[in-house]
Amino acid sequence: MTPETRLDPGAPSPLYLQLQRRLRGLIQRGDWRPGTRLPAVPDLASRFAVHRLTVLKALAGLKRTGWITTVQGRGSFVAERLPEPPLAVPLMPKEDPSFPFEGSAARVREDQIGPWLGETLGRQQDHSLVSFSAGFPPEDLLPGEALARLTRQMLRELGAEAWTYADPAGHGPYLDAVRRWLEAEGAPLAEGWGLRAMPGAQSGLALAVEALTVPGDAVIVESPCYLGLLALLRALGRVPIPVPVDRQGLDPERLASVLQRHEAKLLVVVPSFHNPTGMTLSKARRERILSLTRAHGVTLIEDDSYGDLRFAGSPIPGFRRMEGAEHVIHLGTFSKSLAAGLRLGYAIAPQAVLDRLAPLQEVHSIALPTLTQAVVARYLDTGGFHQHVTRLRRALKARRDAMLEAIHAHFPKGTQATEPKGGMHLWVVLPEDASALELHKEALRNGLGFAPGPLFFADGRGADCLRLNFSTHDPAVTREGIARLGHLIHTRPRKHA
């Protein structure tokens, strides 16, 4: 067996996907040209030292994605018209104006940014600071009294069970309540898919990255990207490969080019109310991205942390709800929609995928606390969560509107700002002579906070960009704070960091 035909049974990627990638590579390289008849199944099984069922599964994936066709009684053939060009598609110019969220051509060094996650959480406790940087519900929008009442109630009902380990997959009533909530929202679990409790979406991301990749592997990320994911990948020694985001979300043609040039294992996307831009990935792009990742054997992680926070427009089906989504892992959380301190979420995936994640999760956390899962389950089942989310959505819309009005009134001419239809964040691109990092230092000295754009890029972009969290303060405080920030932008020296 040659290195070209050797598959790795111990790799995170299953054998049929490894074989699918190898066979597709032979087509892309031109070894098997359009119209060529593929070797028979037994010959392929012998050549790659796998079971014939593994070959059949790999061929089925290639057929489903348009790389091969089958003729009854004759076998499998390379498709006459391939779904993508056989060689890498040239990238568009780096400074393409159709991708407005990258800002100017200026770059900043990683050592200029610092350890942002810890600093953000620490500064959030400083009540003298008017900060727009945090990414979780503020105290005035939390259903604190209802959660306290349910906690006392569940303590009485559970008794000693409240202090014992739950099932590693999750407390049964919690998992059942989440299933019912998803069904009520029109997003039930598909047959063969399972659900596991997670201590928040960040934990689910870490678990998937650790279980499905090894150090040095490429992971495709959005650009700009959720900063917690970039920090995670760097800490674990994985390589982030950025693909630009525009007003319709991740660009699938740029993704196609990256997939041709890199042997990536994962793609991580925040499709609804993207962190940091607030944009939502269109249905057409979701379908294209799903098809591309399936064709290349790349696991797609759908971070749906903000999915419950839509306050305008119609919902778009998530990746897991689409046909051919067997390679999708869906992550949800109550940290954004209910209370960050609960540290409670869930992962949805085909049961076989969850079974692969389970041993690593159990090593990390053994099990999640029974009490918090029981409280959230009861809150879901009694309708309290539905009422809370309805109020939260109204409040978020009012706060978004207040922030946008203040930005348009007080920021310099030429400033661009997104208008999300849900979530907590919006993205600002300042005139090109501004520096977000220098402005951030000045803002802190004046009792203001925000998240500078370079935090959200794998390659130092975003020098003149800001992420602002519109959920943090009531409209009056937001208007006053944004007016003060606008004054600082107008009066600061005009140069990049």
Sign of torsion, CA 171 175 180 184?
A: positive
Instruction: Break the chain into its structural domains and give their ranges.
Output: 15-78, 103-132+386-491, 159-382
3-state class of 249 per DSSP? strand
pLDDT of residue 139: 86
What is the pLDDT confidence band of residue 114, given thresholds at 50, 70 and 90? low
Closest CA to 340 of 178, 163, 201, 494: 201
CB atoms within 10 A of CB 470: 26
Comparing 127 with 318, which gets the higher pLDDT?
Answer: 318
Q: Of 467, 113, 116, whose CA–CA distance to 273 is shortest? A: 467
**55 to each of 9, 335, 354, 484, how far by Cα in Å?**
14, 42, 23, 63
pLDDT of 85? 42
With a cut of 90, say whether residue 478 has pLDDT above it: yes
User: Long-range contacts made by residues 439-448, C-beta under 8 angstroms, separation at least 24?
Assistant: 439/466, 439/488, 439/489, 439/492, 442/488, 442/492, 443/485, 443/488, 444/129, 446/484, 446/488, 447/128, 447/129, 447/130, 448/129, 448/130, 448/131, 448/132, 448/481, 448/484, 448/485, 448/488
Q: What is the pLDDT of residue 29?
A: 78
Nearest-angstrom CA–CA distance, 405 and 399: 10
Confidence of residue 28 (pLDDT cuts 50, 70, 90): confident
For residue 466, give the 3-state DSSP assignment: strand
In 3-state terms, what secondary structure has residue 69?
Answer: strand
Architecture of domain 159-382: 3-Layer(aba) Sandwich (3.40)
Predicted pLDDT at 219:
96
d(CA 462, CA 468): 14
Per-residue pLDDT at 276 exceeds 70? yes
**In whole angstroms, what is the distance from residue 258 CA to residue 88 CA?**
8
Percentage of the residues of the chain whose pLDDT score is greater than 90:
68
CB 128 within 8 A of CB 447: yes
Q: Is residue 92 predicted with pLDDT exceeding 50? A: no
Answer yes or no: CATH 3.90.1150.10 is held by domain 103-132+386-491: yes
Residue 115 has pLDDT above 60, yes or no: no
Which position has the token pair 């109630």?
153
Question: 494 pLDDT exceeds 90?
Answer: no
The yes-or-no verdict on residue 16 having pLDDT over 90 is no
Least confident of 112-126, 269-283, 431-445: 112-126
Instruction: Please give the full DSSP string across 158-195, using - where no structure is assigned.
Output: HGGGGGSBPPTT--HHHHHHHHHHHHHTT-PPPTTEEE
H or E element at residue 426? strand 425-429
Evaluate if residue 270 carries a pLDDT over 50: yes
Q: How far apart are CA 292 and CA 257, in angstroms?
A: 10
462-476: per-residue pLDDT in tens? Answer: 889 999 999 999 999
Q: What is the pLDDT of residue 124?
A: 55
Q: pLDDT tens-digit profile of 309-366?
A: 999 989 999 999 999 999 999 999 999 999 988 999 999 999 999 999 999 999 988 8
When computed from its CA atoms, the radius of gyration of the chain, rounded to whole angstroms, is: 24
Q: Domain 15-78 class?
A: mainly alpha
Confidence class for position 269, pLDDT limits 50, 70, 90 = very high
pLDDT digits (tens, 9 = 90+) for 33-80: 999 999 999 999 999 999 999 999 889 878 877 889 988 888 999 998
Which whole-number Å values give the CA distances from 296 to 23, 222, 371, 402, 485, in the listed order? 11, 18, 42, 44, 45
| Residue 389 near residue 311, CB atoms below 8 Å | no
Exposure b/e, 247-263, CB count within 10 A at least 16 = b: eebbbbebbbbbbbebe
**pTM for the complete prediction?**
0.79
Phi-psi sector, 77: left (phi>0), alpha (psi -120 to 50), beta = beta
Res. 86: pLDDT tops 70: no
What 8-state DSSP symbol labels residue 40? Answer: P
pLDDT band (50, 70, 90) for residue 126: low
Answer yes or no: is pLDDT of 496 > 60: no
For residue 89, the model assigns a pLDDT of 31
Q: Would strands 218-223 and 264-269 be described as parallel, antiparallel, or unpaired?
A: parallel
Q: How confident is the model at residue 103 (pLDDT cuts 50, 70, 90)?
A: confident
Highest mean pLDDT among 27-31, 103-107, 418-422: 418-422
Q: Which pLDDT belongs to residue 112?
A: 62
More confident residue, 120 or 339: 339
Q: Give the phi and the psi of residue 398 in degrees, each rounded to 5.
A: -60, -40
